[in-house]
Structure 1
Amino acid sequence: MSGFVEKPEPLQVPGLVHLHTGKVRDLYRNDAGDLVMVASDRISAYDWVLPTEIPDKGRVLTRLSLWWFDQLADLAPNHVLSTELPAGAPTDWAGRTLVCKSLRMVPVECVARGYLTGSGLVEYRQSRTVCGIPLPEGLGDGSELPEPIFTPATKAAVGEHDENVSFEEVVRQVGADTAEVLRDTTLAVYARARDVARSRGIVLADTKFEFGFDGEVLTLADEVLTPDSSRFWPAETWEPGHAQPSYDKQYVRDWLTSSASGWERAAEVPPPVLPEAVVAATRAKYLEAYERLTGTSWA
């Protein structure tokens, strides 16, 4: 059992048809057939969408994605058509809404890793591989890899884990030509973003992309290079051999697994409401990531 503590009722907006409520985003279709993505302030951890929201989180994700789409435009087109608020939409949607092309989505999470951590570290410790890719001996938590690697995953439903798969499995699912384009584009976009982030004092450890086809053109979709889809570490504190501080949900995860929360993850009961201090610290991390990467003040 996992998923939403309490799944929100979708807003009914004239001219829009509600399609899906995800962990963070609500998806609609307008009369023209375009998709309308609304990034909420919801936050998830340990496969649960929590009952407490993080103020401004949805706007941070939206604004940062737009900034990155501009940085990557020469490498991959993106799905954004407009940032204008649909007629009749609530004012709270301002700054968190994107009108996007309806794409033929690729059923693969395209993950690039430049550093060893997370599920990659777990596999490495067992077999010295990540998604079947052999890696050298002697790497630890947070180690930089000899070169970035493409480690795809299957897309999972809300409340379930994405599952790492081999490149050969991607070939089986989408064909060799598409698999090669996905891999090459993912690694090219990661390399650009890694260099941009590094110039701003941030390590981009890994990230995941979603792609779809606009006709025959591979196109970046959903969010891109946000703290929800990437591991960002402060470069000044990076040191292999242990877990790194990060610009993401770290405060939320740490509190949930502490004795202070009173939550037993293994019991499969919904997590509790977050304290104000944890909410404020998490919001501050999202804003700091935005400001350091873009070089602009959130205010």
Structure 2
Amino acid sequence: MIAAFLKKLLLKNKKLEFYFWYLRTLDKRIFLPTIKVQTMEETIKDLVATNKSIARYGDAEFNVVMNKANPNYQANDVLLSERLLEVMQSKLDNLIVAIPGPLYSLKGERLSAKFFWYGYINKNGKELFSYFDKNRVYGNAGITRFYLGQTNKNISHRIAKLLKQLWDGKDLLLIEGELSRMGVGNDLFDNATGIKRILCPSKNAFNSYDAILEAAIQHGKDKVILIALGPTASVLSYDLAKLGYKALDVGHIDVEYMWMLMKAERVIPIKGRYVSETRDAEDYEIPELYKNDYLNSIISKIGI
């Protein structure tokens, strides 16, 4: 009788269900080392004040490193797994290795994010945390996931404003998937001096890695390089940092910015863009108002 009552109560109250589940699974996390992660603000300010690059890791990259799964936009590749582990454990002075803030603290995250990350740690924590350096302070990969998962949307707007300082008055080179179209139809990069683009495959970009790296070296001189290519971006940022470029793995930055402008409350399609997290396809046609500027910004196409 009591058990049935508690089960019914938990089903009605998600927050109560979470705390009950959190305590019930605590033994899977309690002995894991504490990993230090900067706040989003600290990470962005570090990037603004220095010539550092950033390589970001999320569950997709971790899964590739652990050979457990691959995102739907990148087929299994042993070399990619090896390179991602190399980058994650690298010690370049001019590279921030960024991991999700929830691996350190879930403060400010929505309940759904708390369920996801604690569940992910419960399942993978022992192996995953063995790759981390407990004496290192990691950057916060959430700088490009600043809206949808946050409970305080005022923080989201503040992060977006800080991010724009990274390219204020500077030339940009965007290296992105064919349908990513960062900045098209919004003001995200309006404070940049100019924008050039290298388009890459929306899926399996790592198959064209050597050509992408070569094009980035050729066209990225004296530019801030923004990369949105899934796990490939982490490796590319690292290789470019070694060569002295400022390369920022920005992932979903444009999608999150669009969701913020739309005041979205869940993952939704965006007209004219490929959004990997939803199967609901929007029209990929670029509105006429932005088409010419977008097409004129393309300086290279690789593997498409």
What TM-score results when the alignment is normalised by the length of structure 2?
A: 0.25
Q: Choose between structure 1 and 2: higher helix proportion.
A: 2
Name the structure with the higher strand share.
1
